[in-house]
Chain A
Amino acid sequence: MASSPRTGKVTTQDRIRSLLGQYGIGIVLVIMMIVIAIMEPRFMTPGNIINVATQISINGLLCYGLCLCITTGGIDLTVGAQLALTSCIIGQTMTNMGWPAFLSILAGVGVATVFGFIDGVLIAKFNMFPFVVTLSMQLVIRGLSQVITGGRAVMLTNDWFTGIYSNKFLGIPMPIIIFIVVTIIMYLMLHWTKFGRYIFAVGGNVNAAIAAGVSRFWVIVGVYTISGVLAGLASMIYTSKTGSAQSNIGIGYETDAIAAAVLGGTSFAGGIATIPGCVLGIFIIGLIYNGMNMIGVSSYYQSIVKGLIIIGAVMLDMVMNRNKH
């Protein structure tokens, strides 16, 4: 307890401490920004800030899906493969079958959604371990994307579609708009709806959740389906960005998404997560890439730096939280 149980008053000091505890990782972000800005003055230009915000959208969407799954005590390892499958479906239907862009996106995201739903059903209905289910489904999904394209890359020439990445709305690139809209929806869903509360309850104590009338089945199916939708949307941005649909993309993308979620305070024990925390985690991961590119860290060292920053940030966060035993 951070305040006196007798008076019942919450002091300003308590508020600051709880804010620090909740979003202490924000300090890490600020420190990173200052360090990068000192080493490379061009980092803080509006152009580069928009640039970073645009780049993080793909990992951002994946991170939200993983955050939900991890919060229920699970994990979704399919997101990288989902990127490939949705990309291949969009490419195949739009370029090779001449579907309208909108319909292709609907098909691609739809299939990703269905696979998310299947993951959820396997986990919730048959009580299989999320790790095992998604590890196996990931193989199925990537295999399917290879079957669809025969391993070949398909080019996307539809201007409307490639504009999803490059177009601007009121001067803001579309990926940022998509990311902001999704962030708001996710924030409202997790923190303002009963479904969000049920996610926390199932992750926090599944027996208590069931005893309080929560349907474990629909919560689990729900989060994996949402993870599928988000992976599909991320794939739409990815495909539009590279202009190419192929089955070998997205390998290892779950790593960055998990790292962002964990940096944002998502607990692997389940039941604890916040969307604002995830946003901070997403920005930190994005800044690691952008910052290293800006400073000019050699490619041979980038991977090491990334790993060390993640460990350091999580440790710092734990130190700052230590008083709240």
Chain B
Amino acid sequence: MRKSIVMKVLGAVMAMSLVFSAVVIADETEAGAEVSYEADVNGDGKIVVGYISKNFTDPFHAPINARAEEYFDQAVEDGIIDEWTGLLDGETDPNKQIDRAADCIAKECDIVIFLPAEAEASDPALVQMADAGILVIEVNSKSASCDEKSIAYVGSDDVQAGNMLAQWVVDNCPDGGKFIHCNGVLGNSAQIQRTEGMHEIMDEHPEFEMVGDFDTKWDGNLAADAASDAISKYGDELVAIICDNDGMSSAAQKMCNDSGREDIICIGVDGVEVPMQMVKDGSLKATILQDGVGQINGAIEIVEALVNGESFDPAPVIPFVLITADNVDDYM
């Protein structure tokens, strides 16, 4: 009984976000043409670039931050830009990100690269900077008014990633069966959209039954516990564990393997070090790489175009990549 109410709520949320993303997509196709801006927005003769990270602690963001730091340090040295803020720590906290945005305004930045932590809550950071005239490039995920306020969005489509998660399970368990889903922190846009994408496919496959939908908070430990709980409850009926990120899927897979259940298909999104390594050594069959470095490179290209006065694509999509034993070496 309770389950069905929850499913309805979930359905409503999904429907709403579907409509929303449809609008967004329509918008993008219309505005598909290239755009250009004056880079020195405040006219002080200096180009100052800001960088507001999502956080410093998540393994997915570590290489993104590292790439940004490497590039902009070099860019200042080479005279491409005059100054940059260094990596500002968003601490996965919208409140902190809004504070960092105020710092960027105070520092008279012309261009800011911004990786929002939350779709709604982090949005004031974007609005504040855009209203101050700063050219904001959002990377990795969108905040609510991204389309109106930012000059560009470089990212991947998390709904697509969700589709890929489900498709992998469908392809590898031809007979169907029971599976569980481990959520990220509820309300994170990546959690919402990946979950949505997963359901898009899974709802069309009645041979699969979702028997658990866990609040595992991006936490590998909690996902491993959810896996062992599900194994002890469903035994052989459990065929797959779909996770919103691969920190969780790798921990879940390890739990399955340790319990002698290598047959359970665990899959998640991101392509951080540990799951990649596990794919390489064969203990995890696949993971889905979100090309974070590709995203930040996309943003860097836009910065370069701005500085050179060239036009650019305001919405490049960086595709997700399915990583298996066949191609893992290309991405490590």
Contact = CB atoms under 8 A, between A and B. Distances in A.
Touching chains A and B, CB distance < 8 Å: yes
Interface majority SS on A: helix, strand, loop or mixed?
Answer: helix
11 contacts: A45-B232, A152-B63, A153-B273, A155-B274, A155-B278, A166-B258, A242-B224, A248-B55, A249-B219, A293-B226, A299-B216
Nearest to A296: B212
A151 B56 contact: yes
B105 interface: no
B294 to A, nearest CB: 18
Contacts of A154: 273-274
Interface in A288-303: 289-290, 293-294, 296, 298-303
A147 to B, nearest CB: 10
Contacts of A247: 57
Nearest to A297: B2
A202 B233 CA distance: 46
A162 B225 contact: no
Contacts of A153: 59, 247, 272-274
Nearest to A50: B232
A299 B250 contact: no
A290 B225 CA distance: 8
Contacts of B230: 293
B22 interface: no
B186 interface: yes
Contacts of B65: 151
A-B interface, 9 closest residue pairs, ranked by CB to CB distance from nearest: A166-B258, A299-B215, A248-B57, A151-B62, A153-B59, A242-B220, A242-B251, A244-B274, A293-B229
A150 B254 CA distance: 24
Contacts of A290: 225, 229
A309 to B, nearest CB: 15
Nearest to B224: A241
A58 B247 CA distance: 18
A54 B212 CA distance: 20
Contacts of A300: 6, 9, 186, 215
B57 A151 contact: yes
B58 interface: yes
Contacts of B9: 300
Contacts, number: 122
Contact of A303 (B58, B215, B247, B277): B215
B217 to A, nearest CB: 8
Contact of B58 (A47, A151, A155, A244): A151
Contacts of A40: 233
A11 interface: no
A157 B281 contact: yes
A294 B221 CA distance: 17
A243 interface: yes
B150 interface: no
A152 B221 contact: no
A137 to B, nearest CB: 17
Chain B interface size, as a band, is 35 or more
Interface in A139-180: 142, 146, 149-155, 157, 162, 165-166
A150 B224 CA distance: 25
A166 B216 CA distance: 21
A55 interface: yes
A294 B212 CA distance: 8
A165 B225 contact: no
A246 B275 CA distance: 13
B33 interface: no
Contacts of A191: none
B16 interface: no
Interface in A279-314: 289-290, 293-294, 296, 298-303
Interface string A230-258: 00000000100111101111000000000
B215 A242 contact: no
A194 interface: no
Contact of B2 (A149, A241, A294, A298): A298
A299 B186 contact: yes
Nearest to B234: A42
B26 interface: no
Interface string B245-273: 00100110011001100000000000011
Given A146-B57, A151-B61, A248-B58, A289 B274 contact: no
A91 to B, nearest CB: 9
A3 interface: no
B218 to A, nearest CB: 8
A127 interface: no
Nearest to B214: A299
B295 interface: no
B25 interface: no
A241 B232 contact: no
A255 B326 CA distance: 43
